Structure 1
Amino acid sequence: MTSQTVRRVSECFIKPLHDLSQDTKQPIYLTPFELPFLNGNYSQKGLLFTKPPEIQDFSITDFLEHLRHSLSATLTHFYPLAARLATRKQETPPSYVIYIDPENSPGAKFVYATVDLTVSDILTAGDVPSVVHSFFDLNDAINHDGHTLPLLSIQVTELTDGIFIGGSVNHLLADGTSFWHFMAAWSEIFTSKDHKNGYLISRPPIFKRWVLEGSDPITSLPFTHQDQFIARSEKPQLIKERFFHFSTAAVSKLKAKANNECNTQKISSLQAVSALLWRCVTRVRHQAPNSETVCKLVVSNRRRLKPPLFDDYFGSPIDTVGGTTTVEDLMAHGLGWAALRIHEAVANHNDEAVKKWVESWYKNPVVYKINGLFHPNTTHIGSSPRFDMYGCEFGLGKAVAARSGFVNKADGKMTMYPGREGGGSMDVEVCLLPEYMMGLECDQEFVTAIKNN
């Protein structure tokens, strides 16, 4: 590789193209789904494109200007992304209300950077090159910092023969479903010729907050100062990051194997692949047979609630569910047995379970310390292969890869992506300590599954 230094050329703030109506200036209050994660990091996802060879006179200056203008038009629809957080507090009784304040709208940040690397430099390395972390902004920010930092920062990094568009979004404001909804709308407006109609989009976001029936829509935390709950993460472990591809055929075989072993058809593709990762990662860790091992999945509560929320609900109504067993039992049984533990955890996370958790949180509001969420014996599955990442083209054609940033990574963190070819294929970003990554690449069960590609 040549120089891996990412040079920031310019930065600015992008505001919504049109003035907001009075209705859109009202506070948007955070819910029990989001408030526990005030110490969490921003979510960082991005797309790597090759410069379009068919455009001989491709101008990065014109491209950036078009990106900025279309982003401004998109922010008219997704106006909270241009705002900041605000806090209203009182001493007696202790009350700390955090909300999104559209009245304070300095804009989303837009960064242009360059690096003397090629698309091949990024994709052909075994491990994800650490330079990819510099393709994102706000690496050190936590969600509570959204009081003073932008809730959304877009960094466009120009490579020698490619372009990376990376987004860092405050996780209180948007989960993966909402972030990729925004990206799809931005790409839609970028390619739209319908300027006269005010850049209409096919899926307008819904900002009305979900509220537990009978509860106050304004949720208050029992604090009087941020020092009572802010706890920034410690220095992260030195982990390896590597992508593994599961073709449509490989995923189908794993799903069929898991269901056949359990004489059922209810185990999903994602549950089967998650079970494989859980088994193989646990094996290479060489844990004591009687020790506990957990597979956690981040799930959206939208479809689990009754009545369900639309996919266009813009927020972060997510939760974590998990299958738990001993290392001995996980290794003594097959893929299907592990997948069924995961399936049952997901299936049991229904409307009743979600609302029961919310009720308990209201009785004892907590803000998590993020270091406590990643335990040594856990395989943690995040994001989703169902997100339409590759539908976001920005006039450049289909992206060649999706990547994530520096944050929210630890030993055992797995991030799921759709495979570029579609058809139910998946890419998995695996984060492990170096010795465990070496073991995974030699694990027979894992290698056999990958070879089915």
Structure 2
Amino acid sequence: MNPPTVQIISECFIKPHYPVEEIKPPIHLATWDIAMLSVHYIQKGLLFIKPQITTNDQENPVKSLLNRLKESLSITLVHLYPLAGRFATLKQENPPFYSVYIDCNNSPGAKFIYATADLTISDILSPVDVPVVFQSFFDHHKAFDHDGHSMSLLSIQVTELIDGIFIGCSANHAVVDGTSFWYFWEILSNTFNAQEKNPVITRPPILKRWFPNGHGPHNLPFTHHDQFMSRFETPPLRERIFHFSPESIAKLKAKANSQSKTSKISSFQSVSALVWRCIIRSRRLPRDPETTCTLAANNRRRMDPPLPNEYFGNTVLTLNGKATVGELLDQGLGWAAWRLHEAVEGHSDAAVREWVEKWMENPVIYTRSGHNPYGLLLGSSPRFRMYENEFGMGKAVAIRSGYGNKFDGKVMFYPGYEGGGSMDLEITLPPETMAALETDVEFMDGLNGKC
């Protein structure tokens, strides 16, 4: 039997609804943006129950959805016009200068795709593992951020299923981080649902990039992008969604704080510590090497003065909890959670500015240069308001992602469908490691509230 395929029906480009005077100057990338040029686009989407035709006279609801979504995107791009641009590189030999920026004038706009798939919601949500077909629900498959020179910086693909609608968004990670990504969804959803044609944006975006005082566009020590681009293909992996209820999370948090004799350990740190311990155990590693649990941290509120949540760009840095394999497995959940808590507490304004200063002395562009069996990376956030984005179809029934930035040990945190502090964890591991995690007593007890 042939695997299900996704058929592209139509595609077009969407520009801002009306010209924006401010788009003429280039938007130069900040340190945190440039560091992302060699990673994949962010690919996240929402699955909805398909609206049905109730009378013979009613317009096809999918056609109506597509038209409204295109119009809403066009209006949204007036406010978030960098997403309608393309990258460009400014190079000169004497004196040497190399800089990447967003050109908002010479671009066909953001991409919009309509596709169909002969699948039901049950077909794609019932399997234990996330089906590979989800990767076809997103544009820019396997694209890297630097490809934004020739590809759109934003692409939305609407895939019509037999009984569902999946809206998949691929956004360039050198233009937005998770906070800005879901802020875009918020504006798009609010625009779609507004009664008026040009609704007021209650939280206007801040598009000007942040640079340290006295600094402007970064002069990078390169003459060609081959000097920093590093493409990679992931080996065969399994991907599963694990659901943590509010009750199971509360028990994990209570256990972690009790073992550490504190009340400072958060729910996120407690769940992260469980995942760290159990994945490392499932890998069956030697005891002496150091293992790391890397967290993606939003710098906006950590800076002094803080950047607003409406700052539209990247502010993400990573921080690490560290321990030898033996220490991690011999000590309890609370010990591991406290290591993560200390790493979070140490990520201050001074730490952020120190990273920026060192980066300007020696610019670093993130790459994945091989598998690290002793590490895992935790990204996204259960605090993002993903399920609050509705497009005339009610609340989404699931959140899923594409191929982008998946590797052994990648864990993504999403809010659970029922809310209340619940979490869904998207965990990506090789088949043999996933099988071990599925039978790990500590992990399954924590998942089921038996810790």
Q: Distance in 2 between matches of 1:55 and 1:250?
A: 41
Deviations 1:161-219 (A, max 9, x none): 00000000000000110010000110101011112xx23222221111111123x2211
Alignment partner of 1:33: what SS? helix
**Structure 1: which 5+ residue stretches go unaligned?**
none
Determine whether 1:190 maps to 2:188: no
Equivalent runs, 1:3-402 vs 2, <5 Å: 4-21=4-21, 23-52=22-51, 57=58, 58-195=60-197, 198-214=198-214, 216-233=215-232, 235-372=233-370, 375-402=372-399
For normalisation by structure 1, the TM-score amounts to 0.96
For normalisation by structure 2, the TM-score amounts to 0.96
1:24 shift after superposition:
3.0
Q: Distance in 1 between matches of 2:81 and 2:67?
A: 20
1:387 shift after superposition:
0.4
Of 86-95 and 394-403, deviating more is: 86-95
Change in Cα spacing, 1:33 to 1:55, as seen in structure 2 (3 Å) is farther
Alignment partner of 2:323: what SS? strand
Q: Distance in 2 between matches of 1:243 and 1:110?
A: 28
Alignment partner of 1:88: what SS? strand
Which of 415, 419, 428 is residue 418 of structure 1 equivalent to? 415
User: Is contact 1:3–1:115 with CA below 8 Å preserved after alignment?
Assistant: no
Q: Distance in 2 between matches of 1:135 and 1:114?
A: 9
User: Is contact 1:39–1:144 with CA below 8 Å preserved after alignment?
Assistant: yes
Deviations 1:347-399 (A, max 9, x none): 11110001001101111112232335x52211210100000000001111000
1:35 shift after superposition:
1.0
Q: Distance in 2 between matches of 1:2 and 1:239?
A: 21
Q: Which residue of 1 aligns with 2:441?
A: 444
Q: Distance in 1 between matches of 2:293 and 2:132?
A: 27
Amino acid at match of 2:432: E
Q: Distance in 1 between matches of 2:189 and 2:399?
A: 15
Deviations 1:98-118 (A, max 9, x none): 111112231100010000000
Of 327-336 and 102-111, deviating more is: 102-111
Q: Distance in 2 between matches of 1:311 and 1:394?
A: 23
After the TM superposition, which parts of structure 1 deviate over 3 Å for at least 4 consecutive aligned residues?
52-58
1:27 shift after superposition:
1.4
Amino acid at match of 1:257: K
1:63 shift after superposition:
1.2
Change in Cα spacing, 1:329 to 1:144, as seen in structure 2 (3 Å) is same
